[in-house]
Chain A
Amino acid sequence: MKKQNEKNKYSQLMDIKNVNLSFGGLKALIDVDLQINTGEILAIIGPNGAGKSSMLNVISGIYIPQKGIVKWKGQIRKKIAPHNIARMGIARTFQNIALFRGMSALDNILTGRNILMKRNMFLEMLYLGPSKNQEIEHRKKVEEIIDFLEIQSIRKTPVSRLPYGLQKRVELGRALALEPELLLLDEPMAGMNVEEKEDMCRFVLDVNEQFGTTIVLIEHDMGVVMDISDRVAVLDYGIKIADGTPDEVRSEQKVIDAYLGAG
């Protein structure tokens, strides 16, 4: 896969200003500003119910905030259909694994390329000319991802039979198959043991390094967050209370209070 750095002319991939999001009476996000810089790893942290997942959904365009603007590459983004989100170059993984359980790891990853397939049902059915070449091209990309994530041994295993950590890896593979510019990871290390976490960290760093993908992740494991992120944004009760390098955030009094529950 080619590096995507060159493609991104914008130093700011996404600029979110003054966003407010509420569900009925519940305010999930209150006047939140957030910039996502091209090529960085940004972690969003915060206690339970702080609005992290809501934030991620605003970024991905699933939730439309009642107030505020979301700029994607300098353009104001309007309401957008899910398949167009993928087309824009945003991919994500989910807190609860959302794979096709009966399908093999390979097929699951191949579904990630669905948006890139130029379909012609008739040719596909006959497996002729261009559609054959296209199939080979996609399979090649998928194999590169399998190689990258070191999951060759489970290529043909139905994902329902895989342990949790590997399922997470397949899900990451599917997101990568889209060749995204922005990758959203919702708790990629939740429920993993130390070894699986270390593997996952390495993959996240490698994705960022090798493909130049911008990554936004939500994570509870502070060790992981502080280790791999370039920047950390902290949410508490829907308000952004800190934003900066891991070191800056760590020493921020508000963050300490939010986590330790100072009166």
Chain B
Amino acid sequence: MLRDYSRLNTFSKVLRNNAEVYSNIPCIREKEYGIWQTSTWKEFYHQAQILALGLRDKGLKRGDKISIIGDNRPNLYITIAAAQLIGAVPVPCYQDSVAEELQYILEHAEVKIVVVENQEQVDKVLEILDRLPKLKIIFYDDPRGLEKYKNKEIASLKSIFDVQAVDLSWVDSEIEKTSEDEISVMLYTSGTTGRPKGVLLSYKNIISVTSQACEIEKTSINDEVVAYLPMAWVGDFIFCVAQSYLSGFCINCPESRDTLTTDLREIGPTYYFAPPRVWEGMLTQLMVRMQDATKLKLWIFNYFMFVAKKWGNDILDKKSVSIWGRCLYSLGYLFVYGPLKNNLGLTRVRMAYTAGEAMGPDTFLFYRSLGINLKVLYGQTEATVFVSLHRDSDVDPNTVGPAFPGVEIKIVDDEVLYRGTGVFKGYYKNDEATKETIDSKGWVKTGDAGVIDKNGHLKIIDRAKDVGKLNSGKMFAPKYIENKLKFCGIIKEVVAFGDKKDFVCCFINIDLEAVASWAERNNVAYSGYIDLASQDQVYDLIAKEILNVNKDLSKDSELFESQIKRFLILHKELDADDGELTRTNKVRRGLISERYGKLVEAMYKNDKTCFIETEVTFEDGRKGKISADLKIKDMETFDLEGVAA
């Protein structure tokens, strides 16, 4: 249904309209007590109105900031809606953030009210409360364990919802006052470098871009989405709030983080988005489980995966495929792909996105060959997500697709620049950074190095500042090498070094689940992560994978010098709690090469081992130390193949 977004130009107006036109259509579901509990648009709107009044009574005014911290829960989505009804600005935060990270954001954003999910989050906010003079009250959703808290700053959301007979006409008048240029939401960037910055997005930004996206994908009330990504990520805001509002589809909140797989299967989403890490994780789990299958099953799986690799992608792209290929593929669908998709909960998926980071082409093609319409979305919080997007039957795994409608892309000094209606209003209280990012003509710097290919697709090479040169003068793009390595499943994270060096070295994080399963099958005894990571057999296992990658790289005249010469397996997993990853799980290169500088040095000094001691932060914020003697392994490299030097 096409709606007039010049009239419905803010979310509060869209929501009010939804409550009329979609009144009894499911809006949000939550699995509680083992049953999916559904709210309709009408109920959702009603709840939001009541909460809006409650927030007003607690002193929340137009333009004030209200923070939301927790897993995806209906009441937190209602809070976003309620804040927007009265023109306040929601500021979702990452629920895993430690207290200090929260403090920075709550302080910087001058948050007045915080709405959190449960006791865990209440504890965190209480810990920093005395440093946040502007913060007036903390509302919580789940009262569990909070009964004995005596703090006067905390109150339950239920106390607001329990209010009987309220006059909602005031909310109506507030809705009329909102305008499209007002700030709809403030999202903090994950900050691969430096402090997080608050990105201001207006209603106009979001509605103009999101309505285009709905148009391209033809989303409707019949779609189903599972809301499981952090609410502080722009992706969740666009898919689960904006697109849901504009198309009227229902979003489904899983029961808990552990039940996600089951819940996914029960809902069978038609629209699925995940960062590469989730796709990679699913693939790893699948491969691990296949290793336990009987020989016959494994053979059938391998054979049909070969069939899928050969024809699957073409069939999905509706290209001409031989009858033989189609027959085999149909058979494969019956035996392997169908059950597999069912198992992953992806049977009904009409469109799937990967976004947030680069994904290895092999992983990407694996899913497409199963008949899952996976596409790459390239975007940024600053662009209201969409910069470029693959279109159906025009998908190239090596690119991130053509520009999104209404977005112009240009390349200046290898760096990708864009402009369009989605371009953000600026960073909150940081004009300097805003000026650095947006130029006077509205072009925004992405910080990514890229090229536009002959089909008009944008191809991202790497973060511009990460792309370096080897001493031989050849380009060194770490992400590309890392993604190639990550495809094998037993490697969870890689950090490659090579800029201004003679050759390439890397740190490896093994995937505990995959390697543990391997160890079990091969009778390798181990006591824990550190022990497993340091075993010679594991080193050999990783070396085998690296050798394959080296072989692949040796075929490329541009990249053959990027073959990995030496590597080591880190004694701990890179962790966001230690600041090594961002909250969206991107590697913080600068910090890692600084913290593990000793190891990098050792790798280039030809040492065989290196001793390292690192500080780790436990989940409850306590700190501890772990140390290990790490082995460094040399790798065989190949000469350039088939290309005249």
- Per-residue contact bits, chain B 88-131, to A (CB 8 Å; 1 contact, 0 not): 00000000000000000000000000000000000000000000
Which residues of the partner chain A approach B169 to less than 8 Å between Cβ atoms? none
Please tell me which one of the listed residues B33, B147, B256 contacts residue A144 in the complex, with CB atoms under 8 A apart. B33
Nearest CB of chain A from residue B540's CB, rounded to whole Å? 30
| A151-167 interface code vs B (CB 8 A; 1 in, 0 out) | 01101000000000000
B495-511 vs A: 1/0 string, CB under 8 Å? 00000000000000000
In the docked arrangement, what's the CA distance between A144 and B34, Å?
9
Q: Is the CB of B145 within 8 A of A147?
A: no
Whether B34 and A152, one on each chain, are in contact in the complex, defined by CB atoms closer than 8 angstroms, is yes
In the complex formed, the residue of B with least CB distance to A148 is B144
- A206 engages B144 (CB within 8 Å): yes
The contact of A210 among B144, B259, B262, by CB within 8 Å, is B144
A150:B256 contact, CB within 8 angstroms: yes
Chain A residue at minimum C-beta to C-beta distance from B34: A143
Within 8 A of B (CB), among A96-146: 139-140, 143-144, 146
Q: Which of B410-439 contact A (CB under 8 A)?
A: none
Whether the pair B256, A209 counts as a contact (CB closer than 8 A) is: no
Q: A-facing mask of B131-167, CB < 8 A → 1, else 0? A: 0000000000000110110000000000000000000
- Which A residue sits closest to B33, measured CB to CB? A143
Interface residues as binary, B252-271 with A (CB distance below 8 Å gives 1, 0 otherwise): 00011011001000000000
Chain B interface size, as a band, is 10 to 19
Asked whether, in the complex, the Cβ of B256 is within 8 Å of the Cβ of A140, the reply is: no
Interface string of B22-33 (1 = CB under 8 A from A): 000000000011
Task: Please measure, in the bound complex, the distance between the C-alpha atom of A99 and the C-alpha atom of B32, giving whole angstroms.
Answer: 25
Residue among B144, B148, B258 making CB contact with A153, cutoff 8 Å: B258
A146 near B34: Cβ-Cβ < 8 Å: yes
Q: Are A147 and B32 also in contact (CB < 8 A) when A152-B256, A152-B259, A153-B259 are? A: yes
Residues of A contacting B34 in the complex (Cβ-Cβ under 8 angstroms): 139, 143, 146, 152, 155
Residues of B near A143 (CB, < 8 A) are: 33-35
Query: Which residues of chain A have C-beta atoms less than 8 A from B144's C-beta?
Result: 148, 206, 210
A residues less than 8 Å from B255 (CB atoms): 152-153
A140 to B147, Cβ gap below 8 A?
A: no
Min CB distance A106 to B, Å, is 8
Q: Contacting B33 at CB < 8 Å: which of A140, A150, A202, A206?
A: A140
B315–chain A nearest beta-carbon distance, Å: 36
- CB contacts (< 8 Å) of A152 on chain B: these are 34, 255-256, 258-259
Inter-chain CA distance A155–B31, complex, in Å, is 13
Cα-based distance from A152 to B259 in the complex (angstroms) = 7
Chain A residues, Cβ within 8 Å of B35:
143
Interface positions of A from 9 to 31, Cβ below 8 Å from B: none
Of chain A, the residue at the smallest CB distance from B261 is A153
Return chain B residues, CB-CB under 8 Å to A150: 256
Chain B residues numbered 235-262 whose CB sits less than 8 Å from any CB in chain A: 255-256, 258-259, 262
Expressed in whole angstroms, the Cα–Cα distance for A92 and B262 within the complex equals 32
CB distance from A107 to the nearest CB of B (A): 13
B534-570 CB mask vs A (1 if < 8 Å, else 0) is 0000000000000000000000000000000000000
A143 to B36, CA, bound (A): 13
Residue of B with least CB distance to A141: B33
Q: Which residues on the A side are within 8 Å of B145 (C-beta)? A: 202, 206, 209-210
Q: Nearest-CB distance from A161 to chain B (Å)?
A: 14
Interface residues of B in 5-50 (CB under 8 A from A): 32-35
The complex places the Cα of A206 from the Cα of B33 at a distance, in Å, of 19
Please pick, from B148, B258, B259, B262, the residue contacting A209 in the complex, using a CB distance under 8 A.
B148
Chain B nearest Cβ from A53, distance in angstroms: 30
* Bound-complex Cα distance A140 to B144 (A): 18
Do residues A153 and B262 form an inter-chain contact, with CB atoms below 8 A? yes
Report A-chain residues with C-beta under 8 Å of the C-beta of B148. Answer: 209
The interface residues of chain B lying within 8 Å CB-to-CB of A155 are 34
From B34, B147, B255, B258, name the one whose CB has the most chain A CB atoms within 10 angstroms: B34
Looking at the assembled complex, report how far the CB atom of B30 sits from the nearest CB atom of chain A, in whole angstroms.
12
Nearest B residue to A3 via CB reads B147
Q: How far is the CA of A139 from the CA of B255 in the complex (A)?
A: 17
Contacts of A202 in B (CB 8 A): 145
Q: Measuring CB to CB, which residues of chain B are less than 8 angstroms from any residue of chain A?
A: 32-35, 144-145, 147-148, 255-256, 258-259, 262
User: What are some 5 contacts across the A-B interface (CB < 8 A)?
Assistant: A143-B33, A143-B35, A144-B33, A146-B33, A155-B34
List the 3 closest A-B pairs by CB distance, nearest first. Answer: A153-B258, A143-B33, A153-B259
Q: A147-B32, A206-B144 are in contact. List 7 more A-B contacts (CB 8 A).
A: A143-B34, A146-B34, A147-B33, A148-B144, A150-B256, A152-B34, A210-B144
